[in-house]
A = this chain, B = another copy of it.
Amino acid sequence: MLRRLELAKDWVRDAGNFLKENLAEPVEITEKTRYDDLVTNFDHEVQEKLVKNIFHHFPNDKILAEEDEEKIKFSKELPHLWIIDPIDGTTNFIVQKDNFAIMLAYYEFGVGKFGLILDVMKDKLYWCDSHKAFCNQKELEFKPHKLKHSLLGVNSHMYRTNSGGLQDLSSHTLGVRIVGSAGISYTQLLEGKITAYFSNLQPWDYAAGSIIAERIGYITLNLAGEKPQFNCREKVFTAPKTLISEIQKYIKS
């Protein structure tokens, strides 16, 4: 596992450098499910690079990747499964040239072994091994906040519609922040800038973040309080274990 982790760090860093070097290049944008669900040639290129690297070193590993049309199913039977989100926050990548992330997660028999989130423009790599979490070389620590002294990272649609009672929950906090990227939201969570993150996510959006956050005392659940299924879009949240019961007083599935 450690060899995979060390290689994965290099691959993600290389992919980040590739994006930074090409930031001024024209971007080919395609609509996926609707006008605001976008993919670019760079999403595909980064994914191809990561897939190629994985299969070059580990030809028998399996890969669940956002931009694959035919996707492998997450399963506890698989000894070596990678989950790739080549560019998380594609709209930010297009419009802002900032606030986007490359994410990679690795599972053995359904257990998250490590995750990586690269905040490309800040040049910060968030990662974990089986025990600890880091930002670049610095070990991350859990920063406790009371709920009422917390900020929440949220998805705009869930917030607008009070999905899961998110507006009700937020009224017991200092407010909400919307950054438009699950990956960047997870980096804010890991730094204690937000205390919990709520969104309607695909597995590749929360895989890396949930593994890294788990190392320092967070848990990822769906609104019913169960572990997410990793096989469809689901409303999930990541929050400190110590606040789960208080949060669950306000949210509903």
Per-position contact with B for A153-182: 1 when CB-CB < 8 Å, else 0?
A: 000100110000001001000111111100
> Which single member of B38, B148, B175, B180 contacts A180 (CB below 8 Å)?
B175
Q: For chain A, what secondary structure do more than half of its interface residues adopt (helix, strand, loop), or is it mixed?
A: mixed
The B-contacting residues of A in range 91-117, CB under 8 angstroms, are 91-92, 95-96, 98-99
Given contacts A91-B174, A156-B159, 6 further A-B contacts (CB under 8 A): A38-B174, A91-B175, A95-B192, A95-B193, A96-B193, A179-B179
A239 to chain B, nearest CB (A): 15
In the complex the two chains form, what is the Cα distance from A150 to B96 in whole Å?
Answer: 10
Given A159-B160, A176-B178 in contact, is the A35-B91 Cβ separation under 8 Å? no
In the complex, whether A10 has a CB less than 8 A from a CB of chain B is no
Let me know if A132 is at the binding interface, CB within 8 A: no
Query: Which chain B residues lie closer than 8 Å to A95 at the CB level?
Result: 145, 149-151, 174, 192-193
Q: For residue A159, which residues in chain B have a CB less than 8 angstroms away from its CB?
A: 156, 159-160
Instruction: Determine if A25 is an interface residue (Cβ-Cβ < 8 Å).
Output: no
Check B160–A36 contact: CB distance below 8 A: no
Total number of A residues with any Cβ neighbor in B under 8 Å: 29
Closest to A193 in B: B96
Specify which of B35, B92, B193 is in contact with A148 (CB 8 Å cutoff).
B35
- Contact B96–A36 (Cβ < 8 Å): no
Could you write out 24 A-B pairs with CB less than 8 Å apart? A36-B174, A36-B175, A92-B151, A95-B145, A95-B150, A95-B192, A95-B193, A96-B151, A96-B188, A96-B192, A96-B193, A98-B193, A151-B180, A156-B159, A156-B175, A156-B176, A159-B159, A160-B160, A160-B167, A175-B180, A177-B178, A177-B180, A178-B178, A179-B179
Q: Which residues of chain B are near A36, meaning CB under 8 Å?
A: 174-175
